[in-house]
Amino acid sequence: MERSVRKVMIISKVKLINIVTSPQLLSSLLLAIGFCFILDRYAPTEQLETMPLFIITTGLTFSMGMSGIMMSALPLSSDKESNMLRVLMVGSVSPLQYILGSIIPSFFLIGLTNAVIGFFWLPDRISILPFLIITSLGTFISLLIGLVIGFYSSNQMVASSMCIPTIFIFALIPILKIISEDFEKYSKYLYTSQVINYLENLFEEKNKALTSDIYIIISSTMILILLICYYGYRKNRFDR
């Protein structure tokens, strides 16, 4: 057990260094925070008064729907392309140890990004604990989606191409629903939108913030992605 934990931590340290030194991955985190600062500085005051959660929900959809997906999909596909996975699997590293070691630093960095966003723009009506819990669930689902993309991608270029429409669905549609009711119809089926709905319910101090729709969408999405992730691994053994 101690040896397994040590292997996971070693992989986590390597992945953390790779993420921090990767302009593409690091910029996705900085973009989420930077976009919030831009909105806070230049968005019309009237708009922010009518939509008090607009800044924080925009930052969260970018950190979860964009950074979460990219930070698990691109490193996995890169390791497949460079045959690093084959070397690890031939050695003493198990697939579970590799996956955990890859997810932990991404989960930590995105959680830190969400905490920074919450520190500056979380309204006083919303306590920090439910905020961190719901954003952590959304981050975990995004990382799983990124793993699915990584499993089905033969190289990093293919993974990047698959990330673009995925990010549009989970990161941009929840924001575009403000502009058009057409997006609102589809947005309610997305876990990122339900995270926003939960925060809105907390802000409005509703008796039941965790509605059945929020619970069903988030839990069913997590279960579905876990099944797809497991099937993708079994069918496309990433150590090949």
User: Is pLDDT at 236 greater than 80 in this prediction?
Assistant: no
Q: What is the mean pLDDT of residues 109-129?
A: 93
List of residues 6+ apart from 128 with CB closer than 8 A: 118, 122
Q: Which two tokens stand for residue 30?
A: 């900085």
Comparing 11-15, 188-192, 204-208, 232-236, which segment has the lowest mean pLDDT?
232-236
Confidence of residue 149 (pLDDT cuts 50, 70, 90): very high
Alpha-carbon distance of 29 to 38, in angstroms, equals 15
pLDDT digits (tens, 9 = 90+) for 178-216: 777 778 888 989 999 999 999 999 998 887 888 999 999
User: Is pLDDT at 229 greater than 60 in this prediction?
Assistant: yes
For the chain, where are the alpha helices, taking DSSP H only?
Answer: 2-20, 23-42, 45-50, 54-62, 68-81, 84-90, 95-121, 128-152, 156-167, 173-176, 181-187, 191-203, 212-235
Residue 223's SS3 state is: helix
Instruction: Assign 3-class secondary structure to 105-121.
Output: HHHHHHHHHHHHHHHHH
Query: Nearest-CA neighbor of 166 among 134, 143, 133?
Result: 143
Which pLDDT does position 184 carry in this prediction? 82
Phi, psi dihedral angles at 127 (to 5 degrees)? -75, 155
Position of tokens 């907390």?
202
Which pLDDT does position 239 carry in this prediction? 47
Alpha-carbon distance of 138 to 30, in angstroms, equals 18
Comparing 24-33, 81-90, 150-159, 171-180, which segment has the lowest mean pLDDT?
81-90
Alpha-carbon distance of 33 to 161, in angstroms, equals 24
Q: Which two tokens stand for residue 52?
A: 């008090």
Amino acid in position 36: C
Q: What is the mean pLDDT of residues 225-239?
A: 74
Q: Are 99 and 43 in contact (CB under 8 A)?
A: no
Within 13 Å, how many C-alpha atoms sit on residue 204's CB side? 13
Which pLDDT does position 237 carry in this prediction? 57
Q: Which two tokens stand for residue 154?
A: 């033969």
Q: What is the mean pLDDT of residues 41-67?
A: 88
Alpha-carbon distance of 17 to 228, in angstroms, equals 29
> How large a percentage of the chain has pLDDT more than 90?
52
Average pLDDT in the chain: 88
Amino acid in position 229: C
pLDDT digits (tens, 9 = 90+) for 59-112: 999 999 999 999 999 998 888 887 776 666 656 777 788 888 889 999 999 999
Residue 168's SS3 state is: helix
Q: What is the mean pLDDT of residues 158-175?
A: 92
Alpha-carbon distance of 181 to 194, in angstroms, equals 16
